[in-house]
Homo-oligomer: A and B are copies of this chain.
Amino acid sequence: MRILITGSAGFVGSHLVERFLNEGHTVIGVDNYISGQVSNTDLFREHPRFTFIEADVSHGIPYTGDKLDWVMHFASPASPPHYQQFPVETLMVGAQGTQNGLELAHAHGAGFFLASTSEVYGDPHVHPQPETYWGNVNPIGVRSCYDEAKRYAEAITMAYHRSRGVNTRIIRIFNTYGPRMRPDDGRVITNFVHQALRGEPLTVYGDGSQTRSFQYIDDLVEGISRLMMVKYHKPVNLGNSDEFTMLELVGIINEVLVSVDYVMEDYFPQDDPKKRMPNTIMALNLLNWMPSVSIREGIHLMAQQFAK
């Protein structure tokens, strides 16, 4: 297959490139490096079936090659410090970027695969969150540049599916971690692993009782690959429902990596959800998918890469 991936130099995008190349597909990567990393393009630059286009997909996708089988839209700043630094760009890649991907897929008769997010559930009142939950998002909050952009991206994807017959997929990605995350990503596992490897105390925001579930990147990529093979157009959650408080995570880091202390910081980011956990029954029924990498194993794998 010939697969175009926007955000190919990002964390998730680069793992998709690797998977598809390993499976024998031809991959066109597109990124503008607003939050992607050149090093993630360099990994594949010499590969005979990989092509890279440096472009901002919000302003168009300048692909003029052979017929595509898939357009996978994974471009977007995704961590709070990044999207809050680029609020307008984040909004645009959700709207114009998604639409440009849909138009390209439509023109090629290709499938369109949208990377949406658990952030569409906002600060949820339903726990864990099934795909049918409509969410609780502040449309005018400081996180809304990301959350509303992704909700819009889902809406326009469904509009192209319903009114123009595009063969679409939507996943809602819950917290995912693994090698090739940006060190300044700002999310808790990256922070903890880095701090631990430097022997620094781990920073816990708030009282440490807020919970998160963490999915290892290989599990996500497997779920994406399976969903491409199934004709299902509504959103599918992909995430790990093993839930940990921040303080439990501190304990796991101590157990798996190195013994470090932690410090609590009073600051609690605005509109930060207190609790989020996927209901993944849909992915189990539809794709026979469930996450297989434990948090201990995943943190170990991730630390190995950072230590290199």
Which residues from chain A sit less than 8 Å from chain B, CB to CB? 87-88, 91-92, 94-96, 99, 120, 122, 134-140, 142, 144-145, 147-149, 151-152, 154-156, 158-160, 162-164, 170, 234-235
Q: How far is the CB of A166 from chain B (nearest CB, A)?
A: 11
**A277 to B120 CA separation, bound complex (whole angstroms):** 25
A136 cross-chain contacts in B, Cβ below 8 A:
134, 136
Q: Quick check: B235 and A140 within 8 Å, CB to CB? A: yes
Q: How far is the CB of A221 from chain B (nearest CB, A)?
A: 24
Question: In the complex this chain forms, how many copies of it are found?
Answer: 2
Cβ-neighbour of A139 out of B91, B96, B155 (below 8 A): B155
Q: Quick check: B135 and A139 within 8 Å, CB to CB? A: yes
A94 cross-chain contacts in B, Cβ below 8 A:
152
Q: How far is the CB of A259 from chain B (nearest CB, A)?
A: 42
Q: Quick check: A155 and B145 within 8 Å, CB to CB? A: yes
Q: Quick check: A144 and B155 within 8 Å, CB to CB? A: yes
A87 cross-chain contacts in B, Cβ below 8 A:
159, 162-163
Q: Can you show 16 pairs from A to B with CB atoms below 8 A apart?
A: A88-B159, A88-B160, A91-B95, A91-B155, A94-B152, A134-B139, A135-B137, A135-B139, A136-B136, A139-B151, A140-B158, A140-B234, A140-B235, A144-B151, A144-B155, A145-B156
- Provided the pairs A95-B95, A160-B88 are in contact, do residues A122 and B149 lie with their beta carbons within 8 angstroms? no
Q: Quick check: B152 and A140 within 8 Å, CB to CB? A: no
- Provided the pairs A155-B91, A155-B145 are in contact, do residues A139 and B122 lie with their beta carbons within 8 angstroms? no
Q: How far is the CB of A110 from chain B (nearest CB, A)?
A: 18
Please give me the residue from chain B that is nearest to A102 by CB atom: B88
A163 cross-chain contacts in B, Cβ below 8 A:
87-88
Q: Quick check: A144 and B158 within 8 Å, CB to CB? A: yes
Q: How far is the CB of A270 from chain B (nearest CB, A)?
A: 12
A139 cross-chain contacts in B, Cβ below 8 A:
120, 134-135, 151, 154-155
**A96 to B88 CA separation, bound complex (whole angstroms):** 12
**A32 to B163 CA separation, bound complex (whole angstroms):** 21
Please give me the residue from chain B that is nearest to A147 by CB atom: B155
**A160 to B154 CA separation, bound complex (whole angstroms):** 23
Q: How far is the CB of A107 from chain B (nearest CB, A)?
A: 15
Q: Quick check: A156 and B234 within 8 Å, CB to CB? A: no
A151 cross-chain contacts in B, Cβ below 8 A:
137, 139, 144, 148, 151-152
**A160 to B163 CA separation, bound complex (whole angstroms):** 31
Cβ-neighbour of A99 out of B92, B144, B164 (below 8 A): B92
Q: Quick check: A152 and B234 within 8 Å, CB to CB? A: no
Q: Quick check: A148 and B138 within 8 Å, CB to CB? A: no
Please give me the residue from chain B that is nearest to A121 by CB atom: B139
Cβ-neighbour of A138 out of B91, B134, B149 (below 8 A): B134
A164 cross-chain contacts in B, Cβ below 8 A:
88
**Nearest 3 pairs between A and B by C-beta?**
A95-B95, A148-B155, A144-B155
A138 cross-chain contacts in B, Cβ below 8 A:
134
Please give me the residue from chain B that is nearest to A148 by CB atom: B155
